[in-house]
Amino acid sequence: MRKVIVLKRNHMMLAVAAALVVISALGYFGREWVRSTASVEAGEERVVHMVTGEFKTTTPDGKEIEAYRFSPGTVFVQKGERVKLSIYGVNGESHPFIIEGLGLKGEVKKGQETTVSFVANKEGIYRIICLTHPDMAHNGPMIGYIVVD
């Protein structure tokens, strides 16, 4: 004696959709786990590219204002990851900077690339602060963030 299972079209569509969600989630999380684990185990250094940028405008009363920034403004890295920040100077003549909590400093000059390397040993948020533009009074704040998860 044979049993026949009848699936309705709605049930079949729901099953296919659920399977796609599960496969997508496994692919996404598996890829992230493999990428972060492989780079830490293999000792590879991940290069993160940034640039210096500038916003400039004129107010209704004719005053010219400008503000500088790092782009991207926030960089996410994994705890234990070896990271090399490569910062290219596009706007502004010179941007001396520090990275709070990591003991790093450097200077980005227009048309030049500056690199700093570190190992993200401790979780937290670390600020990249341009010492020339630290606040609104100095055409800033030119502050970027490194988030270590």
Q: In this structure, are 71 and 97 located in the same domain?
A: yes
Q: In this structure, are 98 and 48 located in the same domain?
A: yes
pTM, full prediction: 0.68
| pLDDT at residue 73 tops 60 | yes
At 37 the pLDDT is: 41
Q: In this structure, are 3 and 64 located in the same domain?
A: no
Q: Can you give the CATH number for the domain in which 78 is found?
A: 2.60.40.420
Out of 22-26, 124-128, 131-135, give the one with best mean pLDDT: 124-128
Which pLDDT tens digit goes with each residue over 12-55? 666 655 655 667 666 666 544 444 444 445 578 999 999 999 99
How many domains does one find in the chain? 2
State which residues form the domain around 24: 1-42
Tell me what percent of the chain is helix, strand and coil, each rounded to the nearest 5.
25, 45, 30
